[in-house]
Amino acid sequence: MLFPCLALLLLSSSGFMAPAFKSEMTTTPSSEPLQADVELATKYLKHFYDLKDEPTGRGKRSDSTFSSSVKDMQIFFGLNVTGSLDSQTLDVMKTPRCGVPDVHDYSLTQSTRWNKNQITYNIGRYTSRLPRSTVDSLIESAFNAWSAVSGLKFVRAHRNNADIMMEFVTYAHGDLYPFDGQRGTLAHAFGPGPGIGGDTHFDDNEQWTAGPKGFNLQVVAAHEIGHALGLRHSRNPDSLMYPNYRASRPGNLLSLEDIANINALYRPVQLPIYLNPWLFPRLMQDRCAPDMSFDAVSTVGDTLAYVLLQDTFMFCFLIRYLWIKHNAQPDIKEGPISNFMPKIETSIDAAYRIPRKNTAFLFHESMFWTVKGSTVRGKPRPLSHFGFPVWVQELDAAVHIVKTGRTLFFVHDIYWSNSTFTFCLVIGFMYFFIGAQVHQYDFTQKRTVGVEKANSWLGC
């Protein structure tokens, strides 16, 4: 899940080593935090950032473990990364928010999306703070915000087995995630799936309203519906999926990021893409469409990325589809990704290759595949293998700079530099595929030196 699609490609020019993202600062707290603040922070980090309880028999909580979780939270919210409970960090922790964790969600055993485009919902227990008709109208408006920008249709069903069951409850209410009274966590929702999947709960101790005072039910409901559809929290404060409640929002509930994410998740919405007879011919015909964009782009062979044959090829990924172009030949091979790599039946978000090891890494959400030569090796592994903070659940792009031996990983407006891979000498430009354009970045000048259509790389 994402900002507008970003793919990276590295080709020949002069080398440059980008600085690594700095996750620590040398700020020293002026005073020790109050015990009440430590207790609040501990509870917050355990729920939202997976802070673990200390093993039985160990006394005081490990300072390094606690500080690491604080840093994860500070990185997510774009705060100064001190690892200490400064006033800014505590203010964010005290802000009313969604109850879904930032580092995982309530859908670990559920599907990532509904396998249909018509989804039913029902409202069970109501709140006494608003008339029933007002609740119905606000909830309907929240669903309409998503249906207006996607191919999804929401139908209210007056039965207890609807896909998304909504109700107002208090404290412990039977799902192992109790509410905490006024303010604190406002609501939570479970990801798509059978049973409790999709269910959405609102804390009835809150002051629910239809306007700017208290907590606007339409805004909170639209956020939780995003989770019920399979979306995670966003680090972007302009996104509806930002975890903290915002008292005022622009006229349009959804940001461009929200719109891109829901369409990426539910495109297509009816059949698995590798079985959809309508979509593939359309992709074959539309690769030269003026608004054509790619999910991930990489060269292969002697340059970067994934290798099937000798020499250099370019791979362009979109949804679960793949185009392959040889550098010296006009023809283009294309088809479902699974036609070329049978073990992979998902879309690809990012890809890079280490030439000397003849090994590529293909990423989809929180998992990645290792490809050796032309063979997918083993099962997909979790993204946490690379040592990212726990809130990083997917990549926007990745690229290996062979001259420096570093790999750059991009997530929203942050990048990490990993230097644990083999060093060998290849130099290059970096190409950023953003939407329908590709930007050529010159390392030496440290600026963009050219812009062209993304599909020009496929001969268009």
pLDDT tens digits for range 346-393? 778 888 877 777 788 888 888 898 887 667 888 888 888 888 887 788
The structure tokens listed for 111 are 């599907």
Q: Distance between terminal CA atoms of the chain?
A: 29
99 pLDDT exceeds 90?
A: yes
218 pLDDT exceeds 90?
A: yes
Query: What is the mean predicted confidence (pLDDT) over 37-62?
Result: 80
Query: What is the mean predicted confidence (pLDDT) over 156-171?
Result: 94
Q: 385: helix, coil or strand?
A: helix
Give the length of the chain.
460
Give the DSSP letter string of 44-81.
Answer: HHHHHS-PPPPPTT--SPPHHHHHHHHHHHHHHTT---
Residue type at position 156: R
More confident residue, 58 or 370: 370
The response to whether 326 counts as a known ligand-binding position is: no
d(CA 123, CA 270): 26
Please state, as a whole number, how many other Cβ atoms lie within 10 Å of the Cβ of residue 377: 11
d(CA 214, CA 177): 23
Query: What is the mean predicted confidence (pLDDT) over 133-158?
Result: 94
The response to whether 197 counts as a known ligand-binding position is: yes
More confident residue, 249 or 90: 90
The mean of the pLDDT values for the chain is 77
- Which one of 24, 54, 140, 224 is the catalytic residue? 224
Half-sphere exposure of 315 (CA within 13 A, CB side): 30
Closest CA to 21 of 412, 454, 442, 363: 412
Q: 134: helix, coil or strand?
A: helix
| CA 333, 335, 339, 345 torsion-angle sign | positive
The response to whether 328 counts as a known ligand-binding position is: no
The reported pTM is 0.63
The response to whether 238 counts as a known ligand-binding position is: no
Active site residue 452: no
The response to whether 227 counts as a known ligand-binding position is: yes
Which pLDDT belongs to residue 261? 85
Which pLDDT belongs to residue 168? 98
The response to whether 385 counts as a known ligand-binding position is: no
Which pLDDT belongs to residue 129? 94
Q: φ and ψ at 431, to 5 degrees?
A: -115, 125
Note the pLDDT tens digit of each residue in 389-407: 877 888 888 877 766 778 8
More confident residue, 384 or 93: 93
Hey, what domains does the chain have and what are their CATH numbers?
A: 6-19+272-458 (2.110.10.10), 35-85 (1.10.101), 118-244 (3.40.390.10)
Q: What is the DSSP letter of 231?
A: -
Decide: 112 and 265 in contact? Cβ < 8 Å.
yes
| CA 53, 243, 173, 40 torsion-angle sign | positive
The response to whether 413 counts as a known ligand-binding position is: no
HEC string of 222-244?
Answer: HHHHHHHCCCCCCCCCCCCCCCE
Which pLDDT belongs to residue 395? 85
